[in-house]
Homo-oligomer: A and B are copies of this chain.
Amino acid sequence: MIDDPDRHASKMAKKKAARDKIMATKTGEKGLVIVHTGKGKGKSSAAFGMIFRCIAHDMKCAVVQYIKGGMDCGERDLITARFADICEFHTMGEGFTWETQDRTRDIEMAQAAWEKSKELIRDPANRMVLLDEINIALRYDYLDVTEVVAFLRDEKPDTTHVVLTGRNAKDELIDLADLVTEMELVKHPFRSGIKAQKGVEF
């Protein structure tokens, strides 16, 4: 069904007015703590999308990779090859923990990554800092979530955005965060499971 054009225009005009009114109240600027978690795809991709957006706007930014160091990473190659002047990139991890099987070493690496992260976040020149897969390090207690949350709350400059990714984000971090997105994997069989099937419904 196609709406009557006048009715459509009037409906959309109302929507625009409502939206403009809401947007007019949103004048403040604030550096956000942003968390991407969940079992779905896109947690790191969306974070890197924001990093590329910063690069596009000529905003200084930085990335610390906590876990994926041992794996191939196209974004890293592109950023280090083309945008090293605007985005500092540190790969501190050596692959997921089941690849290394050495907890002591994993803890040392996570701690070193966190020290580098603090240094980058404290530098007010950085407008966004991405702590990629830090949630994995927090989940295995390679890092103390209390310390991470306290630092973000007390020492992060007001205008700096910090993005933290990885599944199983800790509740303490979610409580602190300004914006939390959960990437859910939608499975087709469950979604389309309402179809009647021979032998089951008839």
Residues of B within 8 A of A38 (CB): 184
- Determine the distance from Cα of A55 to Cα of B102 in the docked complex, in whole angstroms: 35
Chain A binding surface SS class: helix
A41 — which chain B residues lie within 8 A by C-beta?
Answer: 46, 179, 181
Residue of B nearest to A48 (CB): B49
Chain B residue numbers with a CB within 8 Å of A175 are 188, 191-192
With beta carbons under 8 angstroms apart, the residue of B15, B45, B52 that contacts A75 is B52
Interface size class of A (residues with CB under 8 A): 35 or more
Which of B12, B46, B104, B188 touches A97 (beta carbons < 8 Å)?
Answer: B12
Q: Is A150 an interface residue (CB 8 A)?
A: no
- A interface residues with partner B (beta carbon < 8 Å): 2-3, 5, 8-9, 12-13, 15-16, 19, 36-38, 40-50, 52-57, 74-75, 77-78, 82, 97-104, 141, 171, 174-175, 177, 179-186, 188, 191-192
Besides A52-B52, A182-B186, 10 other A-B contacts (C-beta < 8 A): A9-B101, A12-B101, A13-B101, A41-B181, A42-B42, A42-B49, A45-B46, A52-B75, A56-B74, A184-B184
- A sample of 26 inter-chain contacts (CB < 8 A) reads A2-B103, A5-B104, A8-B103, A9-B101, A12-B97, A13-B98, A13-B101, A15-B98, A19-B98, A40-B182, A40-B183, A41-B181, A43-B46, A45-B49, A46-B49, A48-B52, A49-B52, A49-B75, A53-B74, A55-B74, A56-B75, A56-B78, A174-B186, A174-B191, A175-B188, A180-B191
